Amino acid sequence: MIYRSTNNKSEKVDFREATITGLAPDKGLFFPEQIPVLSVDFLKDLKSKSKAQLAYEIVAPYVGSSIPKEYLFKICEETVDFDFPLVKIKENIYSLELFHGPTLAFKDVGARFLSRCLGYFSKNSDKKTTVLVATSGDTGSAVANSFLGVEGVEVVILYPSGKVSLIQELQLTTLGNNITALEVEGDFDDCQRMVKEAFANKELNDHLNLTSANSINIARWLSQQFYYFFALQQWPHEKPPVISVPSGNFGNICAGLIAHKSGLPVTHFIAACNSNDAFYKYLQNGDYKTKASVPTISNAMDVGNPSNFVRVLELFDNDFKQIQNKISSFRISDEITKKTISEVYENHNYLLDPHGAVAYTALDIYLKENPTEKGIILETAHPLKFNNVVEPIIGEEIEIPLNVKTLLEKTKNSILISPTFQCLSNELLKWV
Ligand SMILES: *Cc1c(COP(=O)(O)O)cnc(C)c1O
């Protein structure tokens, strides 16, 4: 498979090069030249395939000859080595639980796949790779967990001070080894901007061989397709589902959209957003305006300028009408999100996390307008990760799994820095 940049000013590259580089040199995002088409047989046999086999068949055309077949299969096996149950909440709404991985959020899938690909690529290289990643919470913990101990790869995580939950912070600051956490005195957009500036800086790149583990990285983005197929494997109805995706940087929904483009049956997509509404507004009139991010209780979606927006445009050949036909968006306030958590717990005995609750509310509104449809929400995080929000709403404590108990006893270890590129650069260059 060949990848081009969405800015069309960089050379075309293969999977290996695109994964190692992260962002294209012209600052565009890598995008596959062709999108593979799933065969009729593949879709017919969907339900009988194992998770690993399915993952392998989906991603193999995208990886091409960059990784040998047997090794790629092993990577897929390890990546999807936990449960992805589809749970019925009520008559027309199901929840695809993506939080059964090691850091209790869906980002484990993409991060595990990426870490193993980079681990393979760095085996055959004497140059160290540095993964530089900005996180609003869950990316950092998934990346830290997935890359811990991967030889030849250093990981540097930037997170906004005071804006991630306690569990998220401990997950990304207590591992040590090849994982370093930089605590930025700013918000997520600051972190993302600093990382982008670092990638654009030739000196840093030459010294550190920088790559990204955000969803701009194709290995992370493309492997997030897997669970959309797992959802369809478990879907009990004839008519394809509407899928509601709690969206921030739009990597997750873009993975669903590319899966759909290659033939996965999905009736409609919902980009469920919190008060960070750049995409919601875009769908009203085609006018895309980015804004500074607003803090909310679904903090992993607090993104003012979704980095995968350009991929949405690519997927639909910039055709606004087509985008409007396939995707709806809803903007859900914190107040309504809390109300949903409370009501769904009361009425259906199902505990949503704030991100899942945004997706649920959006889907519920859509289904009221389209009563012949049924749908799935992607429940992207375990409610425990946001216990400070969820527990006061339901007036109960959430039971803490053993692995989280041990985490809570650990001591945070981070480096506090100001939100400027210069400060980041100083930190990074200390190590070379
Ligand atoms: C990252 C994240 C999201 C948003 O996903 P994007 O791919 O950035 O749109 C939603 N929910 C949770 C829990 C997350 O960690």
Ligand 1 centre to CA of 18 (Å) is: 22
State mean pLDDT over 309-318. 97
How far is Cα 154 from Cα 171, in angstroms, rounded to an integer? Answer: 17
pLDDT over 80 at 124, yes or no: no
Ligand 1 centre to CA of 55 (Å) is: 21
Nearest CA to ligand 1 atom 8: 249
Least confident of 118-132, 171-185, 319-333: 118-132
The pLDDT tens digits for 249-289 are 999 999 999 999 999 999 999 999 999 999 999 999 999 99
The pLDDT tens digits for 50-70 are 999 999 999 999 999 999 999
Pocket residues: Cβ below 6 A from ligand 1: 105, 107, 138, 215, 246-252, 300-301, 355, 380-381
What does 242-294 look like in DSSP terms, one character per residue?
EEEEE-SSSHHHHHHHHHHHTT---SEEEEEE-S--HHHHHHHHS--------
* pLDDT at 432 (0 to 100): 60
Residue 67 CB partners (closer than 8 Å, separation 6+) = 15, 16, 75, 117, 120
Candidate CATH numbers 3.40.50.1370, 3.40.190.10, 3.40.50.261, 3.40.50.1100; the one for domain 84-105+224-394? 3.40.50.1100
Assigned fold of 3-75+107-220+411-429: Rossmann fold (3.40.50)
* pLDDT at 23 (0 to 100): 86
Ligand 1 centre to CA of 367 (Å) is: 22
Same fold for the domain at 3-75+107-220+411-429 and the one at 84-105+224-394? yes
pLDDT over 70 at 37, yes or no: yes
pLDDT over 90 at 196, yes or no: no
Looking only at the bridges linking them, the beta strands covering 153-160 and 179-184 are parallel
Tell me how far the alpha carbon of residue 11 is from its chain's centroid.
Answer: 26
For the CA of 99, the nearest atom of ligand 1 = 13
Among all residues, which ones are annotated catalytic? 107
Q: Which of 249, 270, 309, 327 to mutate to test the pocket of ligand 1 (most atoms within 8 A of CB)?
A: 249
Instruction: Work out the pLDDT band at 160, boundaries 50, 70, 90.
Output: very high
Phi, psi of 352 (to 5 degrees): -90, 150
The pLDDT tens digits for 334-393 are 999 999 999 999 999 999 999 999 999 999 999 999 999 999 999 999 999 899 999 999
Where are the domains positioned within the chain?
3-75+107-220+411-429, 84-105+224-394
The pLDDT tens digits for 23-36 are 898 989 999 999 99
Collapse the DSSP code of 321 into the 3-class scheme (helix H, G, I; strand E, B; otherwise coil) and give the result: helix
